[in-house]
């Protein structure tokens, strides 16, 4: 791996798009190393990046619990959890550097939970049989982002990082085959700006909002990555979407987003539905509650189907099992789309342990419950409070209602081992790339990947490219390539503004989301995917004829921002459908109904589909071109996943 000497770093500029964990960590570390960094966020502050919404924790192979964890175990669990559709080398590196992340965060003052003696505490997440997840109550993402923001702020104050708030990247500039800058729109003034650098790093997150309803923030979008695809970057495995099993169910058509309930709740919560359809119907109609169903009439279906992992099976497995239960008429919400997450057993267990610790003999059931609720509140209090505020139900007294929702995208820009796309000088980190999670991400691994890429991988692998640029002068933003790319962006925005139709951007986005969820969501089939592609094309044609965008392009205009993002979502959504149709197997979060075992589990086809699908976009009227990266497994045995 080539290096760049400190005296040469001062002459090299790097653009970082996005200031979540991956972007803020990368910008801060590159600045600390001596590079001249320009960082961009469409938020009013880097602290508002969606990383802040992560709740449950961050994985690291520290083995503090002495329960058999190791770097190899984390590597193996991640490969297996991704259903053997990720690159071994990248995942092993991730497992190796995971340990450094915790040391870095503790040094920054991140307030991880600690045990009574002061040591860092751990808990379990889905798809593993060890406790390796470090957490800060239910606010882990927020606390980690504040740590990264501290580091970033230090570099901003030193002048090594220049921060551009309220700027959205709308295109990447390619000069002599290399990424040399971006065109950004000042969201407050509407002005287009040219920004040049020796290379560009995209840390812009995932594209889950293509489904409209998701746990993502409303502003989260795929435009930065998709614009890179339109300039020739490959999009890898776009159909690999994570459906999170523990989210507050949709309550009506008026909703514009869904709310995550952390996977950490499945440490102590037990998932169940009534065994009898008449009980489920009574609950849906409000004639009964979960507390009215006796233990003998409850089906703890995850514990029944997957005894080795129980309620802590991976997310794709838990989500499909919930869908199966609801499809059988056992759902417990008025819509029929919810299952119970029950904490009664945990409350009584913790309460009895507390009573023993305090020397209380023969405590009453009420006393045990009181003590147990305090323990649960310490662990999950902010999550329980959030649930009660949204639903009006007290989860200490009645079981939570949960249902799967779109949460994360394992697909993303194709990158090599150095996190460089197929366009030289264009890098992608965190959720914006595809590299580490295969067909399903394990819980608490998103924060791990974002910080691993930002702090410990990209700042060093980027030197391989930049070592060849030390004699390259500062890039001129007035070159013909910048001028033409800016003109392309301006034409796109004017095209949208000039439609002057009758329908809102929001209505088109909602319709796109329904198509994606219905035909490319938790389960897919060939007929549905073919229908979805046709529907998306028709919707896109209608969008470009009848969308209404008020205001002016040269001014503050949130509707124009949204319209541009939705236009990109329509193109990306079609590619997701094409990818799902092409991959004729089931693996992880990609579940093709035609390819399943007799027990309803995912049925992979390793002989024909053990590869990364890297798609090259070729235009509206042409099929995208598929490039295959064969996956080679030398350190793990390629076999059928089993959590039973």
Q: What is the mean pLDDT of each run of 10 residues along the chain (644 residues)?
A: 96 98 98 98 96 94 97 98 98 98 97 94 95 94 97 98 98 98 98 98 98 96 98 98 96 90 94 98 97 98 97 96 97 97 97 96 95 95 95 97 97 98 98 97 97 98 98 97 98 98 98 98 97 98 98 97 98 98 98 96 97 96 96 96 93
42 forms beta bridges with none
CA atoms of 324 and 241, how far apart (whole Å): 18
Q: Which two tokens stand for residue 491?
A: 């034409």
Residues 379 and 519 in one domain: no
Helix, strand or coil, per DSSP, at residue 27:
helix
Residues 501 and 400 in one domain: no
Residues 396 and 253 in one domain: yes
Task: Give the residue numbers spanning the domain of 599.
Answer: 496-604
Task: Report if residue 150 sits inside a domain.
Answer: no
pLDDT at 254: 85
Q: Which of 87, 266, 298, 315 is catalytic?
A: 315
Q: H/E element holding 106?
A: helix 88-108
Residue 518 sits in a domain whose CATH number is 1.20.58.100
CA atoms of 644 and 307, how far apart (whole Å): 5
Residues 101, 102, 104, 105, CA torsion sign: positive
CA atoms of 508 and 16, how far apart (whole Å): 31
Q: Which two tokens stand for residue 598?
A: 């007799």
pLDDT at 253: 85
pTM over 0.95: yes
Considering only CA atoms, give the Rg of the chain: 24
Choose the final residue of a domain: 382, 406, 430.
406
Beta carbons of 5 and 438 less than 8 angstroms apart: no
CA atoms of 26 and 46, how far apart (whole Å): 13
pLDDT at 252: 85
Residues 377 and 517 in one domain: no
Work out the number of other CB atoms within 10 angstroms of the CB of residue 33. 18
Beta carbons of 190 and 558 less than 8 angstroms apart: no
Q: Which two tokens stand for residue 60?
A: 């690291």
Note the pLDDT tens digit of each residue in 560-600. 999 999 999 999 999 999 999 999 999 999 999 999 999 99
- Give the DSSP letter of residue 393: -
Task: Report if residue 212 sits inside a domain.
Answer: no
Residues 535 and 389 in one domain: no
Annotate 198-217 with b (16+ C-beta within 10 A) or e (fewer).
Answer: bbbbbbbbbbbbbbbbbbbb
How many angstroms separate the Cα of 614 from the Cα of each of 57, 196, 235, 623? 31, 27, 5, 13
How many angstroms separate the Cα of 387 from the Cα of each of 331, 373, 381, 395, 642? 19, 15, 10, 8, 32
Q: H/E element holding 79?
A: helix 71-81
Residues 526 and 400 in one domain: no
Q: H/E element holding 408?
A: strand 400-409
Choose the final residue of a domain: 406, 423, 448.
406
Residues 383 and 265 in one domain: yes
| Length of the chain measured in residues | 644
Residue 324 sits in a domain whose CATH number is 3.90.700.10
Task: Report if residue 23 sits inside a domain.
Answer: no
Task: Report if residue 332 sits inside a domain.
Answer: yes
pLDDT at 164: 98
- Whose tokens are 């990424």? That residue is 179
Task: Report if residue 122 sits inside a domain.
Answer: no
Q: Which two tokens stand for residue 83?
A: 């259903």
Task: Report if residue 81 sits inside a domain.
Answer: no
Task: Report if residue 273 sits inside a domain.
Answer: yes
Query: What is the bridge-based pairing of β-strands 339-342 and 13-17?
Result: unpaired
Beta carbons of 108 and 32 less than 8 angstroms apart: no
Annotation marks residue 284 as catalytic: no
pLDDT at 621: 87
Q: What is 350-373 written as a DSSP string?
A: HHHHHHHHTT--S--HHHHHHHHH
Task: Report if residue 118 sits inside a domain.
Answer: no
Q: SS3 string of 546-608?
A: HECCCCCCCCCCHHHHHHHHHHHHHHHHHHHHHHHHHCCCCECCECECCCECCCCCECCCHHH
Residues 382 and 254 in one domain: yes
Helix, strand or coil, per DSSP, at residue 162:
strand
- Strands of the 235-236 sheet, one edge to the other: 412-413, 235-236, 611-616, 625-630
Q: What is 208-271 written as a DSSP string?
A: GGGGSSSSS-TT--SHHHHHHHHTTPPEE-TT-EEEEEEEPPP--TT-----B--GGGGGT-EE
CA atoms of 617 and 209, how far apart (whole Å): 20
Q: H helices of 358-457, where?
A: 365-391, 446-451
How many angstroms separate the Cα of 145 from the Cα of each of 47, 74, 82, 158, 183? 7, 23, 26, 20, 26
Q: For the chain, how far is it from start to end, CA to CA, in angstroms? A: 43
Residues 396 and 507 in one domain: no
Tell me how many domains the chain contains.
Answer: 2
Choose the final residue of a domain: 604, 622, 638.
604
């Amino acid at each position: 791996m080539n290096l760049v000497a400190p005296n040469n770093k001062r002459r090299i500029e790097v653009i970082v798009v996005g200031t979540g964990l991956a972007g803020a960590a990368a910008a801060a570390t590159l600045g600390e190393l001596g590079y001249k960094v320009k960082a961009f966020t469409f938020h009013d502050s880097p602290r508002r990046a969606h990383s802040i919404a992560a709740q449950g924790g961050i994985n690291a192979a520290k083995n503090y619990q002495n329960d058999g964890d190791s770097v190899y175990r984390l590597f193996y669990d991640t490969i297996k959890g991704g259903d053997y559709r990720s690159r071994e080398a990248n995942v092993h590196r991730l497992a190796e550097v995971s340990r450094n992340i915790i040391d870095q965060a503790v040094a920054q003052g991140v307030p991880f939970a600690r045990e009574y003696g002061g040591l860092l505490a751990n808990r379990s997440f889905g798809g593993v049989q060890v406790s390796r997840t470090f957490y800060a109550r239910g606010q882990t993402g927020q606390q980690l982002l504040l740590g990264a923001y501290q580091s970033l702020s230090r570099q901003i104050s030193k002048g090594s990082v220049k921060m551009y708030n309220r700027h959205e990247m709308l295109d990447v500039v390619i000069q002599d085959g290399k990424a040399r800058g971006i065109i950004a729109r000042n969201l407050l003034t509407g002005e287009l700006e040219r920004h040049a650098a020796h290379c560009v790093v995209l840390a812009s997150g995932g594209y889950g909002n293509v489904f409209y309803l998701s746990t993502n923030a409303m502003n989260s979008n795929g435009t930065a990555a998709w614009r890179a695809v339109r300039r020739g970057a490959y999009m890898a495995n776009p159909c690999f979407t994570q459906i999170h099993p523990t989210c507050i169910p949709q309550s009506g058509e008026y909703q514009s987003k869904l709310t995550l309930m952390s996977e950490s709740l499945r440490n102590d919560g037990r998932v169940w539905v009534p065994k009898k359809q008449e009980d489920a119907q009574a609950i849906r109609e409000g004639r009964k509650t979960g507390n009215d169903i006796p233990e003998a009439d409850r089906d703890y279906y995850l514990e029944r189907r997957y005894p080795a992992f129980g309620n802590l099976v991976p997310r794709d497995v838990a989500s499909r099992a919930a869908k199966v239960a609801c499809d059988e008429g056992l759902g417990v919400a008025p819509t029929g789309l919810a299952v119970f997450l029950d904490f009664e057993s945990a409350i009584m267990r913790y309460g009895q342990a507390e009573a023993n610790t305090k020397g209380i003999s023969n405590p009453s059931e009420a006393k045990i419950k009181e003590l147990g609720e305090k323990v649960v509140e310490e662990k999950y209090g902010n999550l329980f409070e959030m649930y009660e505020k949204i639903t009006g139900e007290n989860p200490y007294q009645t079981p939570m209602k949960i249902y799967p929702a779109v949460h994360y995208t394992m697909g993303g820009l194709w990158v090599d081992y150095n996190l460089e796309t197929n366009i030289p000088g264009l890098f992608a980190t965190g959720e914006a790339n595809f590299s580490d999670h295969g067909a399903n991400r394990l819980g608490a691994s998103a924060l791990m990947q974002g910080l691993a890429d930002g702090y410990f991988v990209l700042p060093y692998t980027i030197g391989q490219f930049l070592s060849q640029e030390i004699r390259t002068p500062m890039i001129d933003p007035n070159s013909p390539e910048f001028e033409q790319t800016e003109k392309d962006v301006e034409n796109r925005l004017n095209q949208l503004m000039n439609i002057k139709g009758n329908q809102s951007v929001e209505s088109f986005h909602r319709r796109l989301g329904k198509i994606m969820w219905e035909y490319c969501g938790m389960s897919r089939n060939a007929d549905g995917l073919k229908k979805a592609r046709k529907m998306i094309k028709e919707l896109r044609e209608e969008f470009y004829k009848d969308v209404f965008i008020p205001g002016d392009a040269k001014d503050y205009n949130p509707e124009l921002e949204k319209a541009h993002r939705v236009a990109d979502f329509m193109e990306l959504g079609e590619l997701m459908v094409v990818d799902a149709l092409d991959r004729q197997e089931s693996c992880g979060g990609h579940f093709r109904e035609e390819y399943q075992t007799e027990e309803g589990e995912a049925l992979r086809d390793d002989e024909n589909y053990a590869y990364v699908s890297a798609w090259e976009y070729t235009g509206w009227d042409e099929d995208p071109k598929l490039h295959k990266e064969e996956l080679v497994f030398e350190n793990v045995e390629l076999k059928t996943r089993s959590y039973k």
